[in-house]
Structure 1
Amino acid sequence: MEGGSAVVSSRVWTVPNVLSFFRLALVPVFLWLIVAGEDGLALLVLVVSSITDFLDGWLARRLHQVSRLGQLLDPAADRLYIFAALIGLCWREVIPWWLFLVIIARDVMLAVLGVILANHGFGPLPVHHLGKVATFCLFVALPLLMLGEAFAPIAPFSLPLGWAFALWGAFLYWWAGVVYIRETARVIRLPADDRGAPSDTLDRKEVDGA
């Protein structure tokens, strides 16, 4: 994940961005493997994706190739992997569709808030720590559920733990959403001279969305 105090460029074809494109290209493969019930291979793809996720951020800082596109691709890939895992596991009835709808509805709500903020002259909201924790919970939950499906001997341990993380993740996802709603309502009432960026009352994170 790219970030830090490095200068952000508008370059497209950088080594980190190529890794991000590769990571995005694996999303449909990941989804197909889950739908096909090949959870072991799907987890292998997820491991490869995680390695490229680490490498693109490390190389961006090491090679001074932090780019705006990279900052957008990274959180987009994170969300796509979450959505792919949710869709695939829902399709196989491992998890209920309502969980997918709860998570999707929150991201739709954030998109609406983004439009409202743009119409009032603001950029995107800074990321709150609750959103980061929620995303982490979902990233832990979905592989645990897949592990339980792929390896029956560990299912009695993996599945309950996966569900615990999934439910906490969904709860925190919406808790963060309520914080974003309140912050949006607050900042759009600011005088015009104070506009341009949302308040620092939310924790800033230069790269990832949550």
Structure 2
Amino acid sequence: MCVFRILLVGPIVWLMIEEKFSTALILVAIAGISDGVDGFLARHFHWQSRLGSILDPLADKFLLVATFTTLTYMQLLPLWLLLLVFGRDLLIVCGALIYHFKFGEYELSPLWSSKINTVFQIALVLLVILQQEWLPQVATWSTTLIWLVVASVIISGSEYIVVWGTNAWRQMKKSS
């Protein structure tokens, strides 16, 4: 199902650029539902795999990066928000790479603050798309969600720094 979600990204972006927001919203909803079903099935039937644990967050991230970039390009989200979200993602990737090359294998499991951040980002994308055709009067909701995304980006990014910093400190202490 991860590959299916990744394949939906191109059509979603195209539909948004063409301002076919209703259809884009349906595809985003399908992607979200398939993500939930995929996660439920994996946990319920113990179908979890190393590949799935890598592909699932990548599919989510690919969809969010594409939709955030498109909405920013369309001037529906501010550029500074896109840069903040990208900055956090870059921090996480660079931190993981540095840790991996300095200390070896590290099991990267998403933090709760990161999951909350993803929920806020998805909610913001959905609300901005909804606003284009059905709910233009809910602009204050998107402003609130923007600030929730900002707060969760800062909190989750900081939490990754603390977790990796603590783990690195323990590794260095162990080896000395």
TM-score class, shorter-chain normalisation, is: 0.7 to 0.9
SS at match of 1:123: coil
CA shift for structure 1 position 70: 1.4
- 1:1-210 correspondence runs (5 A): 19-118=1-100, 119-151=102-134, 154-157=135-138, 159-191=139-171
Q: CA 1:190–1:83 in structure 2 vs 1: closer, same or farther (change >3 Å)?
A: same
Q: Conserved in 2, the CA contact under 8 Å of 1:33 and 1:41?
A: yes
CA shift for structure 1 position 161: 0.7
Q: List alignment gaps of at least 5 residues for structure 1.
A: 1-18, 196-210
Q: CA 1:193–1:126 in structure 2 vs 1: closer, same or farther (change >3 Å)?
A: farther
SS at match of 1:117: helix
SS at match of 2:169: coil
* CA distance, structure 2, for counterparts of residue 34 and residue 143 of structure 1: 12
Higher fraction of helix: 2
* CA distance, structure 2, for counterparts of residue 124 and residue 187 of structure 1: 11
Moved more, 72-81 or 181-190: 181-190
Q: Conserved in 1, the CA contact under 8 Å of 2:103 and 2:171?
A: no
Q: How many residues align?
A: 174
Q: List alignment gaps of at least 5 residues for structure 2.
A: none
Moved more, 58-67 or 42-51: 58-67
Alpha carbon RMSD of aligned pairs, Å?
A: 2.0
CA shift for structure 1 position 103: 0.3
CA shift for structure 1 position 122: 4.7
* CA distance, structure 2, for counterparts of residue 173 and residue 48 of structure 1: 25
* CA distance, structure 1, for counterparts of residue 165 and residue 133 of structure 2: 45
AA in 2 matched with 1:164: T
SS at match of 1:21: helix
TM (norm. structure 2) is: 0.88
SS at match of 2:170: coil
AA in 1 matched with 2:38: D
Q: Conserved in 1, the CA contact under 8 Å of 2:21 and 2:133?
A: yes
Q: Which runs of 4+ in 1 moved over 6 A?
A: none
SS at match of 1:108: helix
* CA distance, structure 1, for counterparts of residue 56 and residue 38 of structure 2: 9
CA shift for structure 1 position 183: 2.5
SS at match of 1:93: coil
